Amino acid sequence: MRYRNLLLFCALAAAWGSAFMAIKAGLGEPGSPAYFFDAPVLFAAVRYDIAGLLMLGYAAWAVDRWRPRGRSEWLLVAVGAVFLIAGYHALLFIGERGTTSAAAAVIVSLSPVLTTAFARALLPEERLTVVGLVGMVLGLVGVAILARPDPANLVGSRFEALVFGATLCFALGSVLTRRLDTDLPIETMEAWSMVGGAALMHALSVGLGESVSGLPPLRATVALVYLAVVASAAGFLIYFDLLERLGPIEINLVSYVAPVFAALAGFLFLQEVIDAPTVVGFLVILVGFLLIKRREIRAELNRHL
């Protein structure tokens, strides 16, 4: 299918962009009697308990090998569990308690830049041209316009530092999983990474002394199910498929498009306003992508002319 990668990329951006809203809905706001606010790592761990079990069942049904074999395949699973699941989500969920969604969106959008830096060191074949780098910077500017963070809340805070640490984990994990070339099916890798990442986050949650009592309210339950099924199980299945096809630099550009869907989800479900700066941010992001994907777009236009 000619537009398969594009459609999957947009679906991933929609799933991960709307996840920001779901995380906020599940954690709640400071001072509110939210169920998971004082247990953010536990929230992330339960999310991947559900997603991991779903993916294990899917892997057992869909592929011939539902369990990794050998040191290299278990190493690949360990990288996914430590960096892409546990490291990224634990730091992100803790960080989002003390910063704005706007600041978090800008910091997370640094992922393509950080991925490029790691790829230059670890994957010599992964490169962007000067025009591509300009497009990447434009995408970052567009995200900043879209999010409009308060500079006072963007730097100098341990919560923002935690979100940046989450972004570092994800960028490094993306490059390392690309570097570790194995025959392990994507579904199997994803399932065991989620199970391992959930176990690591449960251990961290216990170490932090987190606890909850009783059953979560409907709002937190809906957010948890959405994050586990859509953003995690389906989202990472798409992510690892595109990572194999596009490479870590291009696939992590999803963090530029995700804020667009985050804004749309906020408008539809939280009555957040889409104003003129939001539209300008969308357009700047679009220009950045046109620069980065100019060759593919030119080839597609020539095919139809």
Q: Where are the domains of the chain?
A: 4-304
CA distance 13 to 55: 20
Nearest 5°: CA angle at 236, between 299 and 100?
95
Give pLDDT, residue 240.
85
Give pLDDT, residue 101.
63
Q: Residue 102: which of 63, 47, 159 has the closest Cα? A: 159
Give pLDDT, residue 34.
74
Give pLDDT, residue 262.
77
Give pLDDT, residue 41.
96
Cβ 72 vs Cβ 197: under 8 Å = no
Q: Which residues of the chain have pLDDT under 50?
A: 154, 156
Give pLDDT, residue 267.
75
Task: Give Cα separations from 108 to 136, 169, 203 (angstroms).
Answer: 14, 11, 25
DSSP secondary-structure letter at 209?
A: T
CA distance 258 to 185: 26
Q: What is the sign, positive or negative, of the torsion defined by CA atoms of 129, 130, 131, 132?
A: positive
Give pLDDT, residue 82.
97
Q: pTM of the full predicted structure?
A: 0.80
What backbone phi and psi angles, to 5 degrees, belong to 47?
A: -55, -45
